[in-house]
Amino acid sequence: MYAADILHAATESGDPRVNIGEQTTGKGFGADTAVWGSGTAFVSVPNPDSAAGSAQALVDVEGNSTRVVAARDNRFAAKAGALAAGDAAIVTDSDACARLVAAQDLFEIKSTGMSLELAGQDGEVRITKGGTTIVLTSTGCTISFAPAPGPPVASIALSSTGVAITAATVTVNGVALLVP
């Protein structure tokens, strides 16, 4: 078994295949090599090599068969932030990132200007896009809007006790209601 750089990646009928070798010299060790991942439910295709480096492969050779049994790509790991014991993240060369924070029982998905958080410890689902936030709990739902960092300027809260609307102006069926 040896380590190698992934020089090219593609999929063939959903099966990830890679060319392996040494990225700094361009010397190849194996073409169209099957990638054997860490489970049957997770499939990914490595990012292309670049000036920043390449994904790396752990390669197993058995007779005439060459297999990539594990791969990693630390070029984008900083997007996940600091990970603690039990945490996990999915990162790639896009702005999107998924993170599992074990100590907080939190799963979050982030992309440019938006996020989704499933907070088991707090019992919340939180969806954010720009200044709009939706919070779902077992006792209700709140939708709020804040045009800039700071407190919300408008919100709607639904609960078993009713509906609460907070805003400078409230319009129902095109008719503005007076708000004291």
**Claim to verify: residue 119 and residue 59 sit in the same structural domain:** no
pLDDT value of position 38: 60
pLDDT of residue 37: 65
- Domain end call among 88, 105, 130: 130
Do 12 and 65 share a structural domain?
yes
Q: Mean pLDDT per segment of 10 residues, for the chain of length 180 residues?
A: 85 76 88 72 83 90 86 86 87 91 92 88 88 92 88 90 88 79
Q: Tell me which residue range forms the domain holding 166.
A: 132-180
Q: Within this chain, do residues 157 and 167 fall inside the same structural domain, yes or no?
A: yes
39 near 52, Cβ under 8 Å?
no
- Whole-number pLDDT of residue 4: 87
Number of domains in the chain: 3
Cβ atoms of 154 and 163 closer than 8 Å:
no
Q: What's the whole-model pTM score?
A: 0.66
Q: How far, in Å, CA of 145 to CA of 35, rounded?
A: 46
Residues 95 and 141 in one domain: no
Domain boundary (57, 72, 87) is at 72
Residues 6 and 63 in one domain: yes
- Pairing of β 65-72 and β 27-35: parallel
